[in-house]
Structure 1
Amino acid sequence: MIQRRSLAALAAPLFLPTIARAQDGPWPNRPVTLLVPWAPGGSNDVVARLMAPGLAETFGRPFVVENRPGGGGSLGMTQVVRARPDGHTLLISSASNHVINPFVIPDQGYDVRDALAPISMLVDVPNALVVHPSLNVTDVQGLIALIKATPGGMAFGSSGVGSTNHLAGELFRLRTGVELTHIPYRGGGPALADMLSGTIKLSFQNLPTVLPAHLEGRLRIIAVCGDTRVSIRPELPTVQEQGVPDYAVRSWTGLFAPAGTSAEIRDRIADTTKRLLVDASLKTRLDALASEALWLNPSDTDAFVRREYDRWGPVLRQAGVTAG
């Protein structure tokens, strides 16, 4: 027994270089995590699950979607920021994480513009103003009148503090003068569940999250929040055209990696996402979700995110949006 243990101890160092080479070999050499910082069921989660099979097929390794909700997306983002920059941990992120959280949660401990390396933009996700049918309103002006006639105003739900849907509600409050109280959820899925049950009756949500319930008549979308109508759902009017000037909120989904991830790996992934987004079957599925492909290469993704950051900072300060 002593002899066998001694031989094993002597032999162990001989295997260490082999193990190290296996861990540090050409990317990817193990499953890749696509981390979604929101609960299952929201638009970022849906996009991640649409992209994962094509990425896995291309690179020959599983791309595993992992949900890490909490903190308006900041918990999952921080996990990726701290991950090893070897291309095996990636972030499916949104405007909420990159544009809003830095102002809502200023003590994150890092500058998101520098802590994450861009790979590509993926999808432009419209936001929607949705009500429970029991409110008996069918347009924005009817909703405004109802809120103003309700003592104490109304509550609205969103996918979380610092989400674009939170911003959509706050901007609606600023532009219309109505009294609204924010109820944050841990993602679009939980907010949708409470909308369907009637626990909350007003919400700003990503259009893909609420569109099926709208088409089934269980919820009512009375407006989309962009500055133009959604091309594949042109029957849905915008908030602006229903009498609320200077109102437009867009959401988007992009792919990012920890800072320090090599440009070679990021370029390979970006080239693959570009090919996947023009695939007819994936485009059909995006159309069904009322979302549009929005591909940009790594450098253009970085420029896009920085413009969005500069644009929304002043609005967030005016609205007084905070993590509390």
Structure 2
Amino acid sequence: MKRRLLLGAMAAPVLATPALAQEAWPARPITLVVPWAPGGSNDSVARILAQPLAERLGQSVVVENRPGGGGSIGMGQIVRARPDGYQLLVSSASNHVFHALVSPELGYDTRDALAGVAMWVDVPNVLAVNPGLGITNVQELLARIRATRGGFSFGSSGTASSNHLAGELFRMLTGTELTHVPYRGGGPVATDLIAGTIPMAFMNLPTVVGPAAGGRIRIIGVCTGERVRIRPDIPTVAEQGVPNYAVRSWTGLFAPRGTPKAVIDRLSAETRAAMESPAVTARLNDQAMDTIYMDPARTDAFVREEFDRWGPVVRAARVTLD
């Protein structure tokens, strides 16, 4: 009898271990994987939210850039990651929806492989040019493109990114000759646009706020259907003579499917609290990002709506991987 009691006492802590491990989350640093190069809007929002999330969770939150493959390299890392809440994806419309629509070889459907944690921000796309062109509006740009043998090239943050789709839709609606030049993120696009390597680009507004303020890049239109609340002074492309033109982007937080619901709910709740901080909201607004928090269920539903909305556009534009 004594021996049986002793064995029972020894076994008790072992049986309790899984429950204790769940209660202890997070017990080590958390990594936010950004599937784009440093300097872009996804990288910026990740770094703005990393610190307040770390403070609320009591663990370090590290931002790791894994660019390449139109966002598929970093995205694939999270799809294959252990679903324990320690590796998360800072995802965008570009890689999560647009790239997935033209990449059947991914081997997974982002709607099934990744679980929504929270939608973070709405990121307006803009049409920008090198100031040396002397172009100040969309009509001047169209006239220059049509007068140029071979048309213009335009840069984007990658093939099948929201910026690439913005350029393809612009080409379709205006009947102009444009050649796509893909980059590995918004930062490199800005560098070459400033240098004059490319004459024009479709970019996320946060990426160009600084260079535009310094006169190194000129924004001539926003790609949203209406003027953006944060920068109402910038006219839309549509109101400058391109009817029905509208493209938007967004950034959100996702986890590998199978991550415990308790972990996802905690992450979502702490994200919402961090975003409601006046200091964080101010920093996001300064970067021309508009907060659009959504809970896990709404985030998953929103992603499915995006696939339904953009699938026909991608097919009509005949977007393929370069």
**TM-score of the superposition, structure 2-length normalised?**
0.93
Which runs of structure 2 are paired with 1:1-324 in the superposition (5 Å)? 26-324=24-322
Amino acid aligned to 2:170: F
Secondary structure of the 1:107 match is: helix
**How many residues get paired?**
309
Question: CA RMSD, aligned part only?
Answer: 1.7
How many Å apart are 1:24 and its aligned residue?
A: 6.7
How many Å apart are 1:22 and its aligned residue?
A: 9.2
**Runs of 4 or more above 3 Å deviation:** 16-25
Measured in 1, the distance between the counterparts of 2:257 and 2:314 equals 26
Identity of aligned residues (%): 58
Secondary structure of the 2:104 match is: coil
Amino acid aligned to 2:54: A
Secondary structure of the 2:81 match is: coil
Change (3 A) 1:20 1:40: same
How many Å apart are 1:21 and its aligned residue?
A: 9.5
How many Å apart are 1:31 and its aligned residue?
A: 0.7
- What whole-Å deviation, never above 9, does each CA across 1:64-114 have from its counterpart, x for those lacking one? 000000001011000000000000000000001221012221210001100
**TM-score of the superposition, structure 1-length normalised?**
0.92
Any gaps of 5 or more consecutive residues in structure 1? 1-15
How many Å apart are 1:26 and its aligned residue?
A: 2.1
CA contact (8 A) 1:34 1:92 kept: yes
Amino acid aligned to 2:116: P
CA contact (8 A) 2:129 2:220 kept: yes
CA contact (8 A) 2:85 2:263 kept: yes
CA contact (8 A) 1:22 1:29 kept: no
Any gaps of 5 or more consecutive residues in structure 2? 1-13
**Does 60-69 or 268-277 show the bigger shift?**
268-277
Counterpart of 1:7?
A: none
How many Å apart are 1:17 and its aligned residue?
A: 11
Change (3 A) 1:166 1:235: same
Secondary structure of the 2:26 match is: coil
